[in-house]
Structure 1
Amino acid sequence: MVLTVRSVTTVDVDAVLTSLQEADPLWFVAALCLFQGLGIVRSLRWQLLLENVGYTVHGDSRIGSITELTRIIYLGWFANCVTVARLGDVYRCSVLHRSTDADISVTAGTVLTERIVDIAILVVALVATVIVVFWGDVPPAVLQATMIGTGLLIVVISGLLVIDRAGRSFDRWLPSRVQRIYRRVRRGTVDSLDRYPQLVGYTAIGWLFEGMTMYLVGVALGVDLSFGGAFVAALVGVLLSTIPITPGGLGVTEAGIALVLGWVGLDPTAVAAVTICYRLISYWSVVGIGVTVYAIGLWYPISLSVNRRTRSTDQL
């Protein structure tokens, strides 16, 4: 929050409030709906990852499996917004386990794969967009964010290679109980990396939704924000939100978005208005919807079942 306050100290609060009041509600609602559609895209991708490890998910009610998986996705997002260290990802695996009795270690592996693919596509998209938008004059903040993302990508790919290549020999040194858990996490991570075109496609669509949400916020406020600039600001914000030091990147994300928007030429009033509107959608709407989904779950629990494809490693 200190970072956010420092980034808007020169802002005319009255001018920002006026800009927010004059925002086009239809474009704002369009941005909000587009962002919420991201939950469906993430659900389709998670269903694909679960199928890759042998879990075919079925909805036990009329609303279907995708709707129920989307509920779980929102619960995970909500938990990430109110806790640190990305605990929402752990909570999501726990909810699926309680609903279907799917092995929590295997599903944790699929979530780990999500993070690996997310970072890979995010860094590639961010680097490409930065080159186009800031050709020859990359702002230091954007360069630092890109370097952080590249470093994360190197770490996660190296970890995946270690798990894949050395995993079978490494687990022999682990205690028997830890060994079983490790093998299941390894199975969920390595085996879920299948059907690459669909996996990459869902991920790319998700990041496109993020950038378009930022762009539509700019349209709603009537500011001169290019799609390239909006895309860079949104991806930098997402990248900073993955740093598990505040709930949902609160404070850090806003400061990063404000810096990027300033570098693409927006005045301080427009920077503050766009940042506030975007975070109303990407953070506070998730909190509000998450509370609602959680409350609904108290009366209408998530109803899913899975068919398991038998594998020789399932007994490990």
Structure 2
Amino acid sequence: MIKALLKYSISSLLAIGLLYWAFSKSDLHWADIYQSALTANYQWIIVSIVIALISHLLRALRWEQLLGAMHYSPGTTRTFSAVLIGYFANFIVPRMGEVSRCGSLQKTANIPFEKSFGTVITERIVDLLGLAVLVGLTFIVEWKPIQQFLFPNFHLPPTIMLAGIAAGGITFLGLIWILRDRFLVRWQHFAATNKVGKLLQGWFVGILSIKEVENPSKFILYTILIWVAYFANTYTLLLAFPISSSLSLSAGLTVLVMGTFGMATPTQGGIGAYHSLVASALSFYLIPLKDATILATFFHGTQMATILLFGGLSFIITFFLPQKNAGIES
């Protein structure tokens, strides 16, 4: 209890500190945010909220595929509610979203926590790969200005160093492959005799569920559409304000990447870090820092309000959903 309270206090202080730093360095006041809100095009904001909900629905549908690979079928209502509850929890306690999602399905669909948690880890790995592709794409389309702005003195390491790193990585993977049978035997003994091993084994079953997905092309399509929806959500928010409405699609891509990194920080819903990173990205496109911070605050506030509203409703709905036996492992 004390450890959890300490962890929550540290993340809260970090969020407050980052938010204060973002506001103070731009000389921003709440009255400035109110004045900017009066200039917003709320039709675009409503569109962005709808797109955000669609992205969460797509995530729920993709999650259903991973659960289905383990012969569990909770239904879209339960998975969609669980996804929204997970986002809601992240705005309350950092890193509680994954736990809350799986706890919700355990309650409403009788799916073992460790199995569903394994599928969430798989999702995070896939999302990380998607983010890596997005970062790479951003650097390709915006490399020259980004390099001049962030890495003015950057030079590639010598070729021999890169070759040495590559050779070391290949050698390491080769050793793992050669000794794989020994590792497997030891792992099976550990998983059969140790409580932690059994828990990890459940996680791995969930993680490896991606191999058994019935329709891999649909899984890939959902993954692409999720990122497309994230981008569309970001760009429609840019269109909602006169000062950012003329920014290019590539600028929207940069803002999305920086915002994703901000949301990943260990604070409630990325508070503070999101504001600083998105404001920096917008100022990179010659938007004054004060205005950029206002936009970042409004973007984050829109997302936060959406999640708190629909996540809270989903939490209430779960109390009225009858428990379903989602399936039995075959």
Aligned equivalent of 2:20: 5
Q: For residues 196 and 16 of structure 1, what CA distance do their matches in structure 2 show?
A: 45
Which deviates further from its counterpart, 197-206 or 255-264? 197-206
- How many angstroms does 1:303 deviate by? 4.9
Q: Gaps spanning 5+ residues in structure 2: where?
A: 1-15, 152-168
Listed one character per residue, the Cα deviations across residues 110-145 of structure 1 (whole Å, up to 9, x for unaligned) are 01000000011111112212220233643439xxxx
Q: Gaps spanning 5+ residues in structure 1: where?
A: 58-64, 142-153, 311-316
Matches of residues 152-301 of structure 1 in structure 2 within 5 Å?
166=183, 169-173=186-190, 175-193=193-211, 194=213, 195-222=215-242, 223=244, 224-243=246-265, 245-298=266-319, 300-301=320-321
Output the TM-score relative to the length of structure 2. 0.77
CA RMSD of the aligned region, Å? 2.6
- How many angstroms does 1:269 deviate by? 4.2
Q: For residues 196 and 129 of structure 2, what CA distance do their matches in structure 1 show?
A: 29
Q: For residues 118 and 316 of structure 2, what CA distance do their matches in structure 1 show?
A: 28
- How many angstroms does 1:11 deviate by? 4.5
For 1:121, the aligned partner's letter is: G
Aligned residue pairs: how many?
Answer: 282
- How many angstroms does 1:23 deviate by? 0.7
Listed one character per residue, the Cα deviations across residues 86-130 of structure 1 (whole Å, up to 9, x for unaligned) are 112112111111222222111111010000000111111122122
Q: Are 2:113 and 1:101 equivalent residues in the alignment?
A: no
Contact 1:25 1:220 in 2 (8 A): yes
Contact 1:27 1:217 in 2 (8 A): yes
Matches of residues 125-140 of structure 1 in structure 2 within 5 Å?
125-135=134-144, 137-138=146-147, 139-140=149-150
Listed one character per residue, the Cα deviations across residues 166-203 of structure 1 (whole Å, up to 9, x for unaligned) are 45532423543233222221111112344543323212
Listed one character per residue, the Cα deviations across residues 132-169 of structure 1 (whole Å, up to 9, x for unaligned) are 0233643439xxxxxxxxxxxx9xxx9xx99xx64553
- How many angstroms does 1:70 deviate by? 0.8
Which deviates further from its counterpart, 171-180 or 181-190? 171-180
Q: Which one has a bigger Cα radius of gyration?
A: 2
User: Are the structure 2 counterparts of residues 55 and 242 from structure 1 closer, same or farther at C-alpha, using a change threshold of 3 Å?
Assistant: same
Aligned equivalent of 1:82: 92
Aligned equivalent of 1:38: 55
